[in-house]
Amino acid sequence: MIFKKDSLVLGLLIGLIVPLLGLILFKVYKFGVFTFKETFQFMVLEPGYRTLSVGLSLSLLLNALIFTLYINSGRDNTAKGIFGTTVIYGLIVLLIKTFA
């Protein structure tokens, strides 16, 4: 299975995709009655981007979970990729919260 590989590229891909899935789960939980278009328009057009930064911050928790699973299973190269993308996402959230 592909998830049993120990690859930096796989970690980068997982690290990019998992927070997006977390953001979708946040949308479904918090804004279930609205369409995806309406929800993401609200997140982007809201002053201060508060909901967007909260959604991204919560979605990074999924990255932390996946990172922990890969570290505990000894697949360190994949975990490095996940950690790298988590840091990049975290910096983006920090920039949004600081300058918006």
Please tell me the predicted confidence (pLDDT) of residue 12. 94
What amino acid occupies position 74? G
Indicate the number of domains in the chain. Answer: 1
Average pLDDT over residues 9-24: 92
Inform me whether the pLDDT recorded for 1 exceeds 60.
no
Average pLDDT over residues 10-19: 93
Please tell me the predicted confidence (pLDDT) of residue 3. 67
pLDDT tens, 51-80?
A: 888 888 888 899 999 999 999 998 999 999
Q: Is the dihedral of CA 33, 36, 41, 44 positive or negative?
A: positive
Name which of 91, 87, 100, 92 is nearest 11 in CA terms. Answer: 87
The per-residue b/e assignment along 66-95, b for 16 or more CB within 10 angstroms, e otherwise, is bbeebeeeebeebbbbbbebbeebeeebee
Average pLDDT over residues 28-47: 88
Please tell me the predicted confidence (pLDDT) of residue 15. 93
Identify the domain containing residue 62 by its residue range: 2-99
Please tell me the predicted confidence (pLDDT) of residue 8. 92
Average pLDDT over residues 23-37: 90
